[in-house]
């Protein structure tokens, strides 16, 4: 990323991703719910057992709750701190747009970032405290990293870093909203395989990235550890990662 692109990136993020978070209070019911759960985590000191108004709330995995709770601990109990995951989502998503455009050969990849940042749906989702913005950002990050890993492997370059980032992003998406992330990302990559099948080198690059043993070992470990720890703290509680 050139210095000019970096400056544009940070300015777009500050103006469209960060500053609007300061301009209004929390809206009910969703934003109130997703701010109250991390507040109760801080109050109870139990970061493994989400509660809402004192009632166990295992509807979704806790990654966004953890980020909001950490933000509240650092910056105080306020709406902006609760919405910090949205700023992180914008930061990730804008960079992914630039990186994907660059990988696909765009002469001015910065314009992909500008278009992403100014699309109405992207802007609205990145301002509402739900799980969708952060989940989408991790999903797109996983897809971006997967594409870079395949491209690097195709050119016989080091690809392990991108491959691991793919699985880390996928794990983060699962810890944000559940196993639907696996269905979406694996489905996208699986649908691309028939187009790569005729080219032996490209097919090998896709399969090597998709079935990397280090990534496959890391993916269930973080999610499985969360389930085990939660079952220890709340015996009999349903494993949230398998909630529909």
Query: In this predicted model, what pLDDT tens digit does every residue of 86-123 receive, in sequence order?
Result: 999 999 999 999 999 998 888 888 888 989 888 888 88
Q: What is the pLDDT of residue 234?
A: 59
For the chain, the C-alpha Rg in angstroms (whole number) is: 19
Judge if 101 and 171 occupy the same domain.
Answer: no
Number of domains in the chain: 2
3-state secondary structure of 56: strand
Phi, psi of 52 (to 5 degrees): -130, 115
244 compared with 219, residue with greater pLDDT: 219
Q: What is the pLDDT of residue 240?
A: 47
Judge if 83 and 142 occupy the same domain.
Answer: no
In-domain check, residue 239:
no
pLDDT at 195 over 80: no
Average pLDDT, the chain: 82
Judge if 147 and 36 occupy the same domain.
Answer: no
pLDDT at 73 over 90: yes
Q: What is the pLDDT of residue 220?
A: 56
Q: What residues make up the domain containing 136?
A: 131-234
| Cα 71 to chain centroid, rounded | 17
Q: What is the pLDDT of residue 225?
A: 55
Angle between helices 160-177 and 213-233 (to 10 degrees): 30
Q: Work out the pLDDT band at 71, boundaries 50, 70, 90.
A: very high
Residues pairing with 52 in the sheet: 55
Query: Given CA atoms 49, 52, 54, 55 in this order, what sign does their dihedral have?
Result: negative
Its pTM stands at 0.85
Judge if 193 and 176 occupy the same domain.
Answer: yes
pLDDT at 128 over 90: no
Pick from 180, 175, 167: nearest CA to 224: 175
Judge if 25 and 115 occupy the same domain.
Answer: yes
In-domain check, residue 66:
yes
Judge if 30 and 78 occupy the same domain.
Answer: yes
In-domain check, residue 240:
no
- The stretch 131-139 carries a mean pLDDT of 92
Judge if 90 and 188 occupy the same domain.
Answer: no
H or E segment to which residue 85 belongs: helix 84-103
- The stretch 115-133 carries a mean pLDDT of 88
């Amino acid at each position: 990323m050139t210095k000019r692109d970096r400056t544009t990136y940070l300015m777009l993020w500050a103006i469209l991703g960060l500053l609007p978070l300061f301009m209004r209070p929390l809206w009910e019911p969703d934003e109130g719910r997703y701010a109250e759960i991390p507040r109760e985590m801080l109050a109870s000191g139990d970061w493994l057992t989400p509660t809402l108004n004192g009632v166990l709330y295992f509807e979704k995995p806790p990654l966004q709750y953890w980020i909001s709770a950490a933000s509240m601990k650092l910056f105080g109990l306020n709406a902006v701190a609760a919405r910090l995951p949205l700023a992180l989502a914008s930061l990730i998503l804008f960079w992914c747009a630039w990186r994907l455009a660059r990988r696909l050969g765009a002469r001015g990849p910065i314009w992909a970032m500008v278009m992403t940042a100014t699309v109405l749906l992207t802007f609205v989702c990145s301002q509402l405290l739900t799980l969708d913005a952060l989940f989408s950002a991790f999903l797109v990050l996983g897809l971006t990293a997967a594409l870079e890993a395949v491209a690097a492997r195709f050119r016989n370059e080091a690809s392990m870093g991108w491959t691991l980032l793919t699985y880390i992003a996928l794990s983060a998406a699962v810890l944000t909203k559940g196993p639907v992330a696996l269905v979406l990302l694996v489905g996208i990559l699986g649908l691309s395989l028939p187009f790569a099948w005729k080219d032996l080198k490209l097919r090998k690059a896709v399969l090597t990235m998709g079935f990397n043993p280090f990534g496959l070992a890391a993916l269930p470990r973080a999610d499985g550890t969360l389930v085990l720890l939660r079952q220890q703290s709340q015996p009999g509680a349903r494993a949230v990662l398998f909630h529909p």
